[in-house]
Structure 1
């Protein structure tokens, strides 16, 4: 179909919105581990430091709990705040009622609801493929960090960092898209409340989800007719005597339009 405008102009929304220019906020990472694997935690934090330097992530683990804080309450808060979970898996992790039964359960639930991303990292060889995490892709082909030493282990950590960086970028984009959506909806609600040409124009300057509705509202407020849709190809524009009734002079002469 081809749209033929019967109005002298149409307000076109810009493609750039305020949220596009906003600096992405760091992604909150929660690292869960067993005490027996603290050496792997420390090495992982060293390798992830590059992402902290780039201000793309903010890492939290239970070593961040301050003196005087209620540790269970603080862990619960961080479990709800996290955008991305890194689970250092081992037989000791699976053995831990808290790590496996509490932290992993909550991380997996939020992952399945689409609220966060969960990445299993194999610290030491274990039967993790028999856990609810089996369906998830582990970085570096699921190789255990404990299976390598020296430069080869560094290679595994590098692969993990790159996998985390990709997930961070994806989560940042998701957050940006959500922020843009909510900003658009808030601006549209405000435009509807104002119900004025200026209000809808302001909406169109930075948003576009409701562009067609905003343009229609502007036309109605201007007292102008809507657009008429006709079949694509050649068609006759105007009124033709003998074919149409009550032709007005300003509708003549009829002429072919492509």
Structure 2
């Protein structure tokens, strides 16, 4: 609630009756506690009148100058009260309103480098009160003008207080976010209580919170990304060292019959069909006795692993070739197209959860196997399924709820917070987060993703991918 507006009556003694009549016309504002008026008749016995006048004049928000020739001719009114009023008007710390009681050349009076006539006066048209046919009409005109200014000042007070409460909330919210982000449920509850206590509008709170959250979210995601990059780098380095150790062990075992006194060939094989074939071809160039046999076995193994089975007679050779060439985006779109074909659908928005729950297992195994193989276990539907379960989801084909779904989407780089990335913003290379691909043309997001895609994870489990 706004505080009462303080009003100071500046007048000369000869005009006291008119001043008292004006106070009576402003009495309704006093009764509503909208104003607190003061004049020198309120000085207590024994109180220093000069100090009292100056103190109340210095603190008043509205100063009413009750103008008459006697007021202007009063040395005290002119030199003290009028001078202070004009100083405060020019400083913008008080509203000064001339109230014309009796006719005089008040507009020509110069104080503090300005003429009083530059101030808007009351009553209407600055017509002196004593000149009105009815003094009540004159005082009503003055009361109307003062009432309008009181309403404006009270509104400004309320706005200033509200802005102060908003700043208090902003400081508390920023402090909470700086201490721990994302905010806990307990912190959110306490902030909600604070908003209610401060009587703040939700739209104003949202406007304050948004830039703070955006900054915190960006920092948070950057930290997560850095931690993930570090984890991946460590995992890659560990895997490299393990592979190097294993290769050295395998080299001695595989080619123990090849080497005699001096090694003509340093085997550089790895756990990759293509590299294994390359190694045996290189060994064959050096006429190692077992190279030809091992090469034939490796090619036979690769052919077996590249089994492109389909219950629907679909040719997955193009998908295999795209993945083998590292053309991840083209392979992603090919995956989306071939999955539609396997379900007998022409558009993804025609796909229902039941279509995914009955997806042909042979086709699902082929698609997933190709992704897992050529990404060296980084991408694939089965990889996504494992991350989905790690996020707390059940493989029941049902939507797991916003918290788990967005956690899953965020952990594989499909979303930032609750906002999905656009399809062109997807990462179509092996630097992407594990499980980021396939995106299947972006159909994994929105209604189809959240409400239907969990059915595919259930089908993956059923098919034992």
**Shorter-chain TM-score range:** 0.7 to 0.9
Aligned to 1:186: 168
Give the C-alpha shift of residue 145 in structure 1: 0.9
Structure (1 or 2) with the greater strand fraction: 1
Larger Rg, first or second structure (1 or 2): 2
CA distance, structure 1, for counterparts of residue 425 and residue 87 of structure 2: 67
Aligned to 1:26: 4
Which protein has greater RCO, CA pairs closer than 8 Å, 6+ apart? 1
Aligned to 2:287: none
Structure (1 or 2) with the greater helix fraction: 2
Give the C-alpha shift of residue 30 in structure 1: 0.7
> Aligned-residue CA RMSD in angstroms?
3.1
Q: After the TM superposition, which residues 135-150 of structure 1 pair with which residues of structure 2 at under 5 Å, given as runs? A: 135-139=118-122, 140-148=124-132
> Residue 38 and residue 187 in structure 1: after superposition, are their counterparts in 2 closer, same or farther (change >3 A)?
same
Maintained 8 Å contact 1:124/1:146 = yes
CA distance, structure 1, for counterparts of residue 83 and residue 30 of structure 2: 27
Aligned to 2:437: 249
Give the C-alpha shift of residue 68 in structure 1: 2.0
Maintained 8 Å contact 1:239/1:251 = no
Aligned to 1:239: 424
2:26 is paired with a residue of what secondary structure?
helix
Give the C-alpha shift of residue 116 in structure 1: 2.1
* Structure 1: 5+ residue stretches without partners: 1-22, 229-235
Of 50-59 and 108-117, deviating more is 108-117
CA distance, structure 2, for counterparts of residue 47 and residue 103 of structure 1: 23
Give the C-alpha shift of residue 157 in structure 1: 0.5
Q: After the TM superposition, which residues 170-249 of structure 1 pair with which residues of structure 2 at under 5 Å, given as runs? A: 170-194=152-176, 195-196=178-179, 197=183, 198=187, 201-202=191-192, 206=200, 208=205, 210-216=208-214, 219=217, 223=221, 225=416, 237-239=422-424, 245-246=428-429, 248-249=436-437
Maintained 8 Å contact 1:48/1:161 = yes
> Residue 56 and residue 215 in structure 1: after superposition, are their counterparts in 2 closer, same or farther (change >3 A)?
same
CA distance, structure 2, for counterparts of residue 58 and residue 186 of structure 1: 29
Normalised by the length of structure 1, the TM-score is: 0.74
> Residue 251 and residue 137 in structure 1: after superposition, are their counterparts in 2 closer, same or farther (change >3 A)?
farther
CA distance, structure 2, for counterparts of residue 188 and residue 96 of structure 1: 52
Aligned to 1:168: 150
1:210 is paired with a residue of what secondary structure?
helix
1:36 paired with 2:34, answer no
> Residue 103 and residue 212 in structure 1: after superposition, are their counterparts in 2 closer, same or farther (change >3 A)?
farther
Aligned to 1:50: 28
Q: After the TM superposition, which residues 69-84 of structure 1 pair with which residues of structure 2 at under 5 Å, given as runs? A: 69-84=47-62
Give the C-alpha shift of residue 83 in structure 1: 1.4
Structure 1 runs (4+) deviating above 6 angstroms are none
2:166 is paired with a residue of what secondary structure?
helix
Q: How many residues align?
A: 223
Give the C-alpha shift of residue 162 in structure 1: 0.6
| Deviations 1:207-232 (CA, angstroms, capped at 9, x unpaired) | 5363333332553586585899xxxx
State which of 68, 72, 76 in structure 2 corresponds to 1:98. 76
Normalised by the length of structure 2, the TM-score is: 0.43
1:239 is paired with a residue of what secondary structure?
helix
1:87 is paired with a residue of what secondary structure?
strand
* Structure 2: 5+ residue stretches without partners: 110-114, 222-409, 411-415, 447-465
Give the C-alpha shift of residue 181 in structure 1: 2.0
Give the C-alpha shift of residue 111 in structure 1: 2.6
Maintained 8 Å contact 2:9/2:38 = yes
| Deviations 1:57-115 (CA, angstroms, capped at 9, x unpaired) | 11111111111222222222212221111110011111122212221222223233332
